[in-house]
Structure 1
Amino acid sequence: MQNINVSLQILPVVEEERIYPVVDKVIEYIDSCDVKYEVGAMETTMEGDLDKLLEIVKKAQDICVNEGAARVISIVKIDYKPEGVTMNEKTYKYKK
């Protein structure tokens, strides 16, 4: 399968001072998965095989729960086209 993009915004239900540390654990996991990704202010966008990226999304929920979240709210966006899509083709003209 061609590369696709998946964006993940994850909101662990924890004490406010713990939100960033829990999200940091998810980003550390994404970093370990050997996929291209970019962290934004509101979400992290990944590029790769759809099945692999969806597995990462599923594991992100477990990471939050293992870090003490009573609940996890996730917003997932998928950009798919049969010939593939890259983050660079959508953002290259805005990078300085």
Structure 2
Amino acid sequence: MHNFLVNASIQLLPLTTDRHPYEWVDEAIDIIRLSGIRHDIGPFATVLEGTYAEVMKVIGDVNEHLCNRGCPEWITSLQIQIRSAGDMTADEKTDKYR
């Protein structure tokens, strides 16, 4: 894959009763924050921006963390927008609304 910027949204849905689902989501957000990748936390999903490899690594790290911490079950929903000949930025898509 190329090294242009891509956008991705990640939405985590913990399917668990061991603790409140938001606690698992909070841990996932911590992993995203610690990654250093550009991100925007929203009420339903978090938008990531980086190279394809960077974005996929963070998504993998979130899932690996949940597995290692013993989250019983979860759904990770993803949307990824890729442009083959250049960067795809969140600002490009949303600046007109600000």
Match of 2:11 among 4, 9, 19: 9
- Equivalent-residue separation in structure 2 for 1:48 and 1:79 (angstroms): 11
Change (3 A) 1:90 1:63: same
For structure 2, the residue ranges without an aligned partner over 5 or more in a row are none
Given the alignment of the two structures, is residue 77 of structure 1 paired with residue 60 of structure 2, yes or no? no
What does residue 56 of structure 2 align with?
54
Deviation at 1:87, TM superposition (A): 0.6
Would you say how many aligned residue pairs link Structure 1 and Structure 2?
Answer: 95
What does residue 44 of structure 2 align with?
42
- Equivalent-residue separation in structure 2 for 1:43 and 1:26 (angstroms): 11
Given the alignment of the two structures, is residue 66 of structure 1 paired with residue 68 of structure 2, yes or no? yes
| TM score, norm. by length of structure 2 | 0.86
Equivalent position SS for 2:20: helix
* AA partner of residue 86 (structure 1): T
Deviation at 1:34, TM superposition (A): 1.1
Retained in 2: the 8 A contact 1:4–1:80? yes
Deviates more, 1:54-63 or 1:65-74: 65-74
Q: Percent identity over the alignment? A: 25
- Equivalent-residue separation in structure 1 for 2:88 and 2:24 (angstroms): 29
Retained in 2: the 8 A contact 1:22–1:67? no
Deviation at 1:17, TM superposition (A): 5.0
Given the alignment of the two structures, is residue 26 of structure 1 paired with residue 24 of structure 2, yes or no? no
Give the 4+ runs in structure 1 shifted more than 6 A.
Answer: none
- Equivalent-residue separation in structure 1 for 2:59 and 2:95 (angstroms): 25
For structure 1, the residue ranges without an aligned partner over 5 or more in a row are none
| TM score, norm. by length of structure 1 | 0.88
- Equivalent-residue separation in structure 1 for 2:72 and 2:18 (angstroms): 13
